[in-house]
Amino acid sequence: MLIHKLKSKIHKATITQCHINYDGSLGLDESFMTLAGMQAYEKVLVANLSNGSRFETYLIKAKKGSGIVSLNGAAARLGAVGDRVIILAFALVDEKEAGSLKPRILIMDDDNHPRMK
């Protein structure tokens, strides 16, 4: 049996940009993606701590070291610059392997500087 388990989490990232006239996705500083073990075009669940919205989208790389967390396309209507979000990525794993999967978790400070949990 396969089950979905949390693979990666970026907790309390601050939205830095919103671009409604974009094809869609979540732009994320490439260094955040690397630390969290996330990949470009990977599906993620985004939970907005500021307004309670939750939505799925995919990741695109933003400039490494930029601190960018950008809501693009329709997702830009679900948050605003300054909102805090949780970005979650999941893996489909065999039930036998599930116990050994430990998620990579980043906790962001107020200036989008990450630290590993």
Tell me which residues are annotated as active site.
Answer: 25, 58
Q: What 3-state class would DSSP assign to 31? A: helix
Encoding tokens for residue 103? 């998620």
Neighbours of 17 (CB within 10 A): 15
What is the side-by-side strand order in the sheet with 69-72?
A: 17-19, 69-72, 25-29, 54-62, 43-48, 84-94, 2-14, 104-108, 114-116
- Give the torsion through C-alpha atoms of 1, 39, 55, 91, to 10 deg: 10
